[in-house]
Amino acid sequence: MRAVLKRGMVVLASLAGLGLVCGSASAVNVCGPITVNTTWTVANSPYVLTCDVRVLAGATLTIDPGVTVQFPQNMALIAEGGVINAIGTAANQINFASTNATLPGAGLRVQGGQIDARRANFTSLQSGISLVCCGNPFNPPLNVDHCNFTGNQAGISGYTTPVSTISNSYFSNNAVAAGQAYQIYTFCTFQANTAAFNFAESVTLEDCEIAGNTTGVSSPTGNSMIARRCHFHGNQLAMERVTHIERCLIEFNEVGVRISTPYMAFFQCNNFQLNDAWNVEMNTGSTISAPNNWWGTTSTSAIDAGIKDGFDQVGLGFLQYATPLSGDWTETSTCACTVPVITSWSPDETKYVGQTATFSVIASATGAPSYQWKRNNVALTNNGHFSGVTTPTMMVNNIYDPGSGPGWTDAGAYTCVVSNVCGTVESVAMNLTVQVCAADFNMSGIVSIQDLFDFLGAYFAGCP
């Protein structure tokens, strides 16, 4: 949502350490570095950038539900070592938009920091969120959930590590919806973009809908490109150079899959049907094995008619589709699997600072599951403090005191996402409450004789 700025608005004074923050009846102008924890409130919304705003290491910018942030041409809001938390609600979403759609602002940027965006809209920006490699090796740089990216030059662009997670989000009418690398998209919709993904590598799509785009998913090399349980329909080209395609429905596209690289590693248990020109178009001299797919028919001549390969053009390789499935993959024993079911999980925990918390789940499924633990909806990585984050049992080692450690507390809601080739389920929240041990007077995480000396020192100094 774009608010109209009143003419004659004057930029007021700067606040030390917070960036330039100025107010008027219609907007608050912001500019410069943020070095201490800061909150942008709906009462002062909209916030208008008059230069780049950079959230530096050690600082967190919290953007409240219902806030609008406006970007003049080329202006950016950057997590430059710091943290941006933009968490809206279903009723009060956060809005990020250019002040002029024909002169777009740069948008949000991760540059050594972290962004957590939920229930937010990104409109008419150069890039809704851009990622600049590289950042903190332990913390996920970007978490996006239930966000809308509309009319941007790019919805999400660039890359950084570790892997970013984007879920339950909608991308429409962008030049390029998303990419470039080290990202996982789950339950997202990509509709009416020029390209849903272009020049992408190391991207995983799971349970996504890709519809009505000029190009669905394209990669220059196919490196670690994965599509599982996705629905591709109504695209001119659904996929090109995607190395792992499994349990997808690919229908009503001009071309379903174009194979332009010899690195097609896994290509089975998919449904190909009613694609206008080709279900599969070979654009390489290599021969590719693609058994155990359903082609909408049991007639080999009809299957052949939907595949462009060496039988149609000299110099092309061959697609070896035998043995084809006899029906929809969901109905065949060859591709049988079941969505995981979590049968038990740990109770809530209350722990003292310095102790260890352990959470676990038990899941059953046909088809071996994988595990990913999350804290407050943000995927965790193994870094010594957290261990076992991709196993059924996860540990929080040497629990941080609220406000200590890396500027946060370990208290929160822990969940485990259990996935296999057939689907994904997330556990209920297992809550960790953190208490400070009164005997640990200096809050070092260890009860020792030093605590007694520190207590006596405070007592004789008159500390109440």
Task: Read off the pLDDT of residues 119-137 as tens digits, 9 standing for 90 and up.
Answer: 999 999 999 999 998 877 6
Prior bond to 140 cis, omega within 30?
A: no
**77-94, pLDDT tens digit by residue?**
999 999 999 999 999 999
pLDDT one-digit tens code per residue, 208-252: 999 999 999 999 888 899 999 999 999 999 999 999 999 999 999
| Least confident piece of the model among 116-130, 275-289, 327-341 | 327-341
Per-residue confidence band for 422, with pLDDT thresholds at 50, 70 and 90: confident
Place of tokens 């995607």: 242
Give the residue among 77, 197, 66, 190 at the shortest CA–CA distance from 125.
77
The mean-pLDDT minimum among 31-40, 368-377, 407-416, 455-464 falls in: 455-464
The answer to whether the CB of 416 falls within 8 A of the CB of 394 is yes
Q: What is the pLDDT of residue 437?
A: 60
The band of 459, judged by pLDDT with boundaries at 50, 70 and 90, is: low
Parallel, antiparallel or unpaired: strands 203-206 and 226-228? parallel
User: How do residues 191-200 score in pLDDT, each as one tens digit?
Assistant: 999 999 998 9
- pLDDT category, 257, cuts 50, 70, 90? very high
Residue 12's pLDDT is 29
Angle of CA points 370, 371, 374, to nearest 5°: 155
Percent share of the chain, pLDDT over 70: 86
* Beta strand segments in 81-147, E: 83-87, 94-98, 107-111, 114-118, 120-123, 127-132, 142-145
- Given CA atoms 105, 110, 114, 119 in this order, what sign does their dihedral have? positive
